[in-house]
Amino acid sequence: MTILLFAFNLKAQEKWSVEFRPGLNFPTSDVGNTDAKVGFGFELTGAYKILPYLVAYVGWGLNEFKGEDNLLKEDVTLKETGYTFGFQMIHPIGTSSFSYLARAGAIYNHIEIENNSSTFNADTGHGFGWQVAAGVDYEFAANLALRPMLRYRSLSRDVTIENISSELKLNYISFGIGLVWEF
């Protein structure tokens, strides 16, 4: 009986996971007046397995893009920071160590804009956006996995710089490989 209880508790402990995901971000269009270049960032998420193949996740991330503002004719840095949450489906591929995954959720982020000479800094304030993703989960050791993933993120926010208000639409495709620890 003790062995059965221990085995059940050990299996139940694998309902939680933590993931660290660095990645590259490829803007799909200009962001306001800024011609954004390829960016980088990272995300840290925690997840809880609700059902055998359904996971709820929540996390925090930072993504940064360099670019040139076409109106001000200056180099600027765009920083998107904030929260992410949603659901993820992970389904094994046969009996292999691989699973496919699909993710859909919301982001609650803001965008900061600053020029490289630090003479101005603008912030959009937090607001909601959305994301979808697809990838593969490869369990390479007990309770450890790598997750290459492609995702699309979209966030629209208003910003005012030097009394000029405009809408920023930050849409990008992100590729990253996450390191996951299940417990």
* Residue 119 in this model has a pLDDT that exceeds 80: no
Domain count of the chain? 1
In which domain, by residue range, is 154 found? 17-182
In this structure, is residue 6 part of a structural domain?
A: no
Residue 36: CATH number of its domain: 2.40.160.20
In a domain, 12, yes or no: no
Q: Does residue 1 form part of some domain?
A: no
Which tops the pLDDT comparison, 70 or 105? 105
What is this structure's pTM? Answer: 0.86
SS3 for the chain, per residue? CHHHHHHHHHHHHHHEEEEEEEEEEEECCCECCEEECCEEEEEEEEEEEEECCEEEEEEEEEEEEEEEECCCCEEEEEEEEEEEEEEEEEEECCCCCEEEEEEEEEEEEEEEEEECCCCCEEECCCEEEEEEEEEEEEEEECCEEEEEEEEEEEEEEEEEECCEEEEEEEEEEEEEEEEEEEC
Confidence of residue 131 (pLDDT cuts 50, 70, 90): very high
User: Is residue 7 in some structural domain?
Assistant: no
